[in-house]
Structure 1
């Protein structure tokens, strides 16, 4: 009875272990179970079960991947960098943290473009051909390997993204020597979205710091400030002219189709029509949110002119005696206005009258 209980327990363990096996393995195990139930003792069956369970990972149909140790990345030695592109080691071989240092080292070294080298002739299509020195000026990214007598792309070696743009190693790893096919150079350069163009853009951003986003914004800001200053200058000149002449600023209709937009806009438009340097920065050529012609801008400039005029009058007085002339008058709408002027004698003995302010008086209740 004890042997039967032990045997049934072993069968249950056997069935539990076989559930994770494949269909063909299950059939083999079932045959083994039948044979073991007839002629194999429970102890022997338990040992077979242990053997099968131990061999189970190897008996599955899955393909095991052998463990291969990765090659250790090469440490960067900037003094040992090869200038000849035919002898260089790919950038990807170096450690990730050293790749930028290697790129900087090659950029400081410059591309390999031998000037006094006598290029070899190669038979191409029945004619003797060789690397043309004029290609260096036409394609600044090209470099020549004296070791392999082949042409390479300097920027592609440094910055080509092989994950996004695989293949095309004629100018990167293998080199180019079809000297009778100059069109291949233009084809390699490609369009804006080509692998070479992306590598060239990365190279330009690295070698030209002012092309970074921060520097571009800073340069644009300086340019905007200069244009803003020019627009403000011409607005101020128009305001000063109208103030000096005592003329009105605004017109009844200041729309684009108006025949008379008022003295301020008409004066600014006349100056822009006669001076090209003014027309480039004002009115239609100015940003919509920075034309410097709105009535609020005019009022602010007028207040600034009044403050500066008051400062000049105080400096001209220089602590001397003066008299205040205040008089009231009413406009066509019967609104009371108060005019304040200063009377004084300047340092040259001349009597001076300076207008200071015009105030609208509030009607006091009786």
Structure 2
């Protein structure tokens, strides 16, 4: 062993290998961070998957793609929009075009085509694509979580079914096999999920709304009181606010005093105003201006309609 050399020098990494696994931080040119290459590849792959996942945005029921072969997968929508997309598709119903001639598949004597009367046998879920000329399942498209080969769920959601010979085959019918004989089959689970989604009474939000029905009715009554007060003060060209609107004031301004007057002649109004929380009174100046703005918009719209009618008759 030569003089001045330590044992570490014989087992140290080569310069090229060290530089290959180093990242130079742009803001700190003298600092090097050891970053494994596998970690870089994983981060790049995760970024690409995230980009591909949320590449569809729900902008309204009228913008949805109806063709089963062309529409985006449910997993491509943002998580907070997926239930809205599902409800929209269920409201539209399955795509069942009535074509004069459906495309023929097969060769020789094996040529067959889709039959429109199949929609009558499976009206809730069976779909047909005019672009791919294949059959699909609406329920499995909305709630299928895996490409299970059992029952052909991947065929009816991704690729599309086209083997028409297997439809009119008694118990071996491809559509019946897709549904499955077990109550927990992929298709039946998707069907139950669709029913649960449309069952608003079973939702937690609805149960909470029923429990708070009294509070909701009181909030609605407070809003009506504020709307009526703004309407009357506006029609009489009266000022809304007073110099002192505190609870101890003897004159809190026309808006608040009018609400008190309405409460004197209606016990329900009095109870709603008395029990209102600080953020549920609907008396803030911003709310008054918003209500007034709605009235102004309606008046301008009415004037424009009258002027349009006059011009059209002259």
TM-score where L is the length of structure 2 = 0.47
Identify the structure with the greater strand proportion: 1
